[in-house]
Amino acid sequence: MSLKKINDLHGHKVGDRILCHLSELISVNIRDVDLLARWGGDEFVIILPELDLEQAKLACEKLKSLINSNPISCDLSVTCSFGVAQYHLGDTLNELFVRVDKLLYSAKQQGRNTVQT
């Protein structure tokens, strides 16, 4: 269920609780050198230094499975999609995030709850 739908059905306090739950779940399941940050709304960025694209995809697949297997409550669970892109020498931040945005749009087109590279 999307965060917007959860906010509409259950209120923003429940939506906030879900964001906190996801942040904590992800934070304790990434490496100390990784960085998790809220990008906006229900979007997060995870920076995985020193991982190539395939390793980053695998890490995101594990996080997706973890999220799927840890519901917020008995009657409420969420899924996450991941767009995994690798920084290329000379990329601007905008170029990198345009690639990620396209991957997330692809995830949405494919029914969500996927990892796109």
Q: What domains sit in the chain, N to C, each tagged with a CATH number?
A: 3-116 (3.30.70.270)
User: What pLDDT, on the 0 to 100 scale, is given for residue 54?
Assistant: 97
| CA distances for 9 relative to 46, 77, 98, 112, 117, angstroms | 28, 13, 31, 20, 32
Cα separation, 2 vs 78, in Å, equals 7
User: What pLDDT, on the 0 to 100 scale, is given for residue 3?
Assistant: 79
Specify the range with the lowest mean pLDDT, choosing from 3-12, 42-51, 53-62: 3-12
Mean pLDDT of 49-58: 97
Q: Is the pTM of this model over 0.85?
A: yes
Percentage of the chain beyond pLDDT 90 is 73
For residue 47, give the 3-state DSSP assignment: strand
Q: Dihedral (C-alpha) 108, 115, 95, 25: value to the nearest 10 degrees?
A: 100
Tell me: the pLDDT tens digits for 75-114? 888 889 999 999 999 999 999 999 999 999 998 899 889 9
H/E segment holding residue 90: none
Confidence of residue 71 (pLDDT cuts 50, 70, 90): confident
